[in-house]
């Protein structure tokens, strides 16, 4: 599915991919307790936000300040880069967001597994009676 997105050119993302990254970030912000990963659309195709973040993992472009803030406010530890915050690359932001998506999916899936086990235990208990 990642080939559905425009490729990087010598580490630089086309503006359409940078805009899609921003949309994916907003979709993550709106992600409540839904089971499925949020999606964005690109040229009429549905793309999970993790695919967008993965596509930007090697992007050396500098992230705009508003995106830096949106990413760093989700960190549990303070951001410590080699330079000022305004030099965060899309690569760094994409890696952070990719981890956050995986953690959220893991938490949601574990929650479902716990609920399913509880439901199974309740059903077993009723049949034992």
Residue 10 within any structural domain of the chain: no
Q: Which among 78, 116, 128, 91 has a CA at the least distance from the CA of 8?
A: 91
Greatest alpha-carbon span in the chain: 67
Cα distance between residue 52 and residue 7, in whole Å: 11
pLDDT under 50: residue ranges of the chain:
1-2, 85, 114-119, 123-129
Cα distance between residue 77 and residue 15, in whole Å: 30
Tokens matching residue 43: 């040229």
Residue 127 within any structural domain of the chain: no
Structure confidence by residue, pLDDT tens digits, 74-96:
877 766 666 554 578 999 999 99
Q: What is the pLDDT of residue 62?
A: 92
Residue 30 within any structural domain of the chain: yes
Structural domains in the chain (count): 1
Residue with tokens 């803030």: 69
Q: What is the pLDDT of residue 2?
A: 42
- Where in the sequence is the domain holding 44, given as residue range(s)? 15-103
* pTM of the model as a whole: 0.76
Residue 122 within any structural domain of the chain: no
């Amino acid at each position: 599915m990642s080939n559905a997105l425009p490729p990087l050119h010598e580490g630089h993302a086309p503006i359409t991919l940078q805009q899609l990254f921003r949309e994916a970030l907003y979709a993550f912000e709106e992600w409540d307790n839904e089971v499925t990963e949020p999606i964005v659309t690109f040229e009429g195709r549905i793309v999970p936000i993790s695919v967008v973040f993965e596509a930007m993992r090697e992007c050396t472009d500098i992230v705009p300040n508003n995106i830096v803030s949106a990413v760093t406010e989700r960190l549990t530890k303070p951001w410590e880069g080699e330079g000022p915050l305004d030099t965060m690359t899309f690569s760094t932001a994409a890696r952070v967001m990719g981890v956050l998506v995986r953690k959220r999916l893991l938490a949601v899936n574990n929650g479902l597994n716990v609920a399913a086990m509880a439901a199974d235990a309740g059903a077993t208990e009723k049949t034992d009676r």
